Amino acid sequence: MTQNHWATLSGQQLASAYALEADAFGAIAMSPSFDGLIRQFNDYDSYLKRLNQDSKHRETVRSLLKNDGIIDTAVPTRELAQLFCLAQIAACSELFRGWEINSSQLNREGIRALVDQGSAGIRNIPEIPLETRPDQYSEAQRQLLNGVNVIQNVDTIRVLQVVKLLGLISIHASDIQQLSLGVGNGYRDLYGIHGVARISKKQEGASTILNFDMQEQQAAHTVLVDSDPTYHDHFENLNREEADRVLALNTEADQAMKTLGKKQLKLDLSLRNLVVGLRIDHHMIPDAEKFLGLIATVIDSNADLIFTIGAGNNLMEFEGRLNCFDKLFAALTQIGLKPIRLLLHGKGSPQEQRSRPNFGQLAYTSYQILYCKLQRDRML
């Protein structure tokens, strides 16, 4: 499996990504429904629980899933549009983490100005050469990488909020035994997936101030897998420093699952109840049936699967990723499971789809989500 080369973003490209995400938030902030939406983030976990217990919301979700589990969002319904607004606000809690924003700035012009000012320090940093090892990064390159981690998390948080808002997954981070494939440096899998957005209000004179935060949570245990040798030393550090919560395997996915299976037999590690692959490389899954069979050897009797795909480096790679999802969806359906596929892009040919993501930019955004409630007995 090859990594997504996040570090090839330049400071200018990263600043542009920040601006685009902030502009989407600014547009939501100008809508009549904003006050009602933002109020939910004072205690977002409680809101999710109430929402997913609501019979009307559950009926809405059932209606969305009536097309054989495929949700096409090119022309979103009113309910989907609200869901996407909530997901974008949650994602921007990461983008604006630690910021206090005056209500007078809650418009597209005001938010863009704040982000332009905040990203001034990275704008002129060139992209990091692929051959540069992380331990050789300069201070400016580390600053750029930190910014890339933020924009990765923005996309990750948005994806997970869409899944949670649909009520597909509700397990708390402290109960999760996670397997993550194709993780890159692992930041988004460790911290982005389980983060909880929090936005609080306070009055300062006649002004209302919004305070943005992201409460970090981590799974009870996470197995990280990526074969890129760039991460060898980083993974070794994780294995030393977080041995009780993380096992990082710098090897191919099939070998990693065999290693994990052996450790589980020795009772060193629990069976997994969450399998994640964010912006997967389709080359990781040459045979969908065999791949699912491997996953079945390391999961509990039931587990949640969440995969996403990105644009790839070119149209051919994007088409490969679409084909990979086609095969996974068909294989899961064939064994009697009920996969759900969310299309987060416009209609048309693969080239047109690739140029029309619902959110963000081609370089970092997710184009589709594949979710499935796995049942081990059906997969073996």
Domains in the chain: ranges and CATH: 6-379 (3.40.50.150)
pLDDT of the residue at 4: 39
pLDDT in tens, 229-245: 989 999 999 999 999 99
User: C-alpha distances in angstroms, 291 versus 257, 308, 333, 368?
Assistant: 10, 16, 15, 19
Give me the mean pLDDT over the 279-295 stretch.
96
pLDDT of the residue at 5: 46
The lowest-confidence range among 40-44, 66-70, 162-166, 344-348 is 66-70
Cβ–Cβ under 8 Å, residues 285 and 275 = no
Give me the mean pLDDT over the 162-168 stretch.
96
pLDDT of the residue at 8: 67
- Which amino acid type is present at position 29? A
Cβ–Cβ under 8 Å, residues 17 and 9 = yes
Does the structure show a pLDDT above 50 at 18?
Answer: yes
Please report which residue ranges of 65-138 form alpha helices under DSSP H.
Answer: 78-95, 108-118
Angle between helices 44-53 and 139-165 (to 10 degrees): 30
User: C-alpha distances in angstroms, 244 versus 69, 176, 221, 240, 272?
Assistant: 38, 14, 8, 9, 15
Mean pLDDT of the chain: 94
pLDDT in tens, 267-285: 889 999 999 999 999 999 9
pLDDT of the residue at 136: 87
Who wins on pLDDT, 3 or 261? 261
Nearest to 179 by CA among 353, 298, 14: 298
Measured over the CA atoms of residue 316, residue 318, residue 322 and residue 327, the dihedral's sign is positive
User: C-alpha distances in angstroms, 284 versus 53, 248, 296, 303, 321?
Assistant: 37, 17, 16, 20, 10
pLDDT of the residue at 206: 87
Percent of the chain with pLDDT over 90: 88
65-95 as b/e: b if 16+ CB within 10 A: eeeebebbbeeeeeebebbbbbbbbbbbbbb
Q: What angle do CA 288, 294, 300 make, to 5 degrees?
A: 120
